[in-house]
Structure 1
């Protein structure tokens, strides 16, 4: 790598909450990076286990590590605290129950120096992620609008790669004024909406250097299926619809696809939810359908209307994922 590139500082932000079983592996994977010019900001978000103490032990071992202890405010608040302290030219987020390959940062830096991308994206290793719709075996350059092509199917691998915050490197300047929305679940869904309004160039690199761990104890795990805050993700879909319609291109096709997925995802929450979740779903479904049904064809409108009358029948007939 060129000397100028090696001088670039990366801020690696790791939110930490009750992950004592995973934290050492996560931090070790970062400390052992082939690219060494980084600061690691561990944000202990009010952990109730030994995670905070583990952070402090790591602080003693490596001068590149900073530790922030704060009252529990959630993932967004923890990432925001890290951003407030970040001094790097670039920023990465790594979840504390995951880990990365040793060339994670170096591969990003090479990509950034060659393409001058605002955001670089890597592929990930995950046991629960679907195979790609097309082979992901080459570097891909996206404009902000082209990124939308990977946001049209939320059960596809490409969607996950585009929407999550933790498989990416960002130019630090993107976050000069931008922060994660506090109190939101699925905060990454909101963040990608904001980022795609700001960026000019996004680069995907087909290297699986981020290892995602399926932690069912996390807030998005199956153990928390009936948390009403899961519906925040649907609010992000609605935000995406509005943004597409406000665009200069007035992208009704993308808005219509996003609407259909919002309604299908709501139906899935209904199918798997308890009575409280089902009541919340019905209210949100009715509101979204009534506001945006004009985006649908007559045939589609009749199809999605079925849920408002007999949700159980709709789920049985149309929710196949």
Structure 2
């Protein structure tokens, strides 16, 4: 049911050296069927033509605002957008991606009809597994049900839940939150802030967000051995601690298990530097939190400390991209 709402939506687009893709992204956003939007282009010190392109777009559409800032990374760029956003709702789009025409309208209708704190949609991407836990109909999810989507990082539902760019948020939910600057996998950190502090979310099964696989980016395959990927494990540890603070031992156990397995994968596929840092972090994480594992799990995961190669030959049936 269309609500007829006309609340302002702020769409924050961080921009850095994506001149090949920026026009396609902005065109998709200005073409939204829901028109009461402000588009905040944050040029994060681009060294290509992106800064000029942002300014050119601002002359074409009065809804576009441009922020030019020194390069500080994706988190800093998003934070700059949050500082000036005036919308009742906040949404993020990455500048090498694009969105379908009903992206915002579907979100607004879902939030206004359900009273949810945020909404998220399915993603168009050949890289993701098919749906398993979410159906083909709109669904209202409790905070606990949302946390259950964060159990398996290899699932489509995990990605749909954790990333920032397929969502819309009530401004009150995130107005005082900021992305961790200097970190990659920043979305993994951000969601930790509210996984225990919202009432409900709504899932939209339409693939309204079009994700572009960009191997040149920091999370692309060309940068597999960048040690900053270990930030993801720090985010897992933070999530686990949040679960323990809320006496959610079952969720903490699941997060710990996947954090350890992620480190095994970094070790298995990494260069010598990545192997050394992954092994070091594994030992610290296991020793610090092993009491939250079952006896059987402690025996299993302790093996990696002494015989890493034997561990993943025996147990690792999992593939990470």
TM-score, normalisation: structure 1: 0.96
Structure 1 residue 2: Cα displacement: 4.3
2:273 maps to what in 1?
Answer: 276
Q: Does 1:72 align with 2:84?
A: no
Whether the aligned pair in 1 keeps the contact of 2:12 and 2:42 (CA below 8 Å) is yes
8 A Cα contact 2:39 2:64, kept in partner: yes
Q: CA 1:54 to 1:269, structure 2 compared with 1: closer, same or farther past 3 Å?
A: same
Cα distance in 2 for residues equivalent to 1:290 and 1:155? 25
Q: What per-residue deviation string (whole Å, max 9, x for no partner) do you get for residues 24-69 of structure 1?
A: 1000000111001000000010111111111111011110000111
Does the residue aligned with 1:313 lie in a helix, a strand or coil? Answer: helix
Q: Is the 8 A contact 2:134 2:157 kept in 1?
A: no
Mark the runs of 5 or more structure 1 residues left unpaired by the alignment. none
Q: What residue in structure 2 maps to residue 291 of structure 1?
A: 288
Deviation at 1:198, TM superposition (A): 2.6
Q: 1:162-184 CA distances to partner (integer Å, 9 max, x unpaired)?
A: 00011000011123211111011
Retained in 1: the 8 A contact 2:192–2:239? Answer: yes
Match of 2:154 in 1: 155
> What SS does the corresponding residue of 1:300 show, helix, strand or coil?
helix
Which residue of structure 1 lines up, in the alignment, with residue 298 of structure 2? Answer: 301
Structure 2 gaps, min length 5: none
Quote the residue 2:114 is aligned against.
115
Task: Give the superposition deviation at 1:144.
Answer: 1.5
Equivalent residue number for residue 309 of structure 2: 312
Q: Deviations over 1:178-222 (max 9, x none)?
A: 111101110101111102233111111111100011100111111
Pick the aligned partner of 1:263 from 260, 263, 284. 260
Q: Equivalents in 2 of 1:279, 1:135: separation in Å?
A: 38
Shift of 1:145: 2.0
Name the CA distance, whole Å, in 2 between partners of 1:135 and 1:190: 23
Tell me what 2:239 maps to: 240
Distance, in Å, in 1 between the alignment partners of 2:196 and 2:148 is 15
Distance, in Å, in 1 between the alignment partners of 2:311 and 2:72 is 37
Q: How many residues align?
A: 317
Aligned-residue offset at 1:135: 5.2
The SS at the match of 1:151 is: coil
Provide the residue aligned with 1:202 in structure 2.
Answer: 201
Aligned to 2:213: 214
Q: 2:46 is matched with which residue?
A: 47
Match of 2:92 in 1: 93
Instruction: Give TM-score, length-normalised by structure 2.
Output: 0.96
**Mapped contact 2:133–2:157 kept (Cα < 8 A):** no
Which of structure 1's runs of 4+ aligned residues deviate more than 3 A? none
1:272 shift after superposition? 1.0
Report deviation, 1:251: 1.7
Counterpart Cα distance in 2 of 1:69 and 1:85: 13
Q: What is residue 12 of structure 1 aligned with on the other side?
A: 11
For residues 161 and 274 of structure 2, what CA distance do their matches in structure 1 show? Answer: 28
CA distance in 1, matches of 2:52, 2:316: 45
**Residue 83 of structure 1 pairs with residue 82 of structure 2:** yes
Name the SS for the 1:128 alignment partner. coil
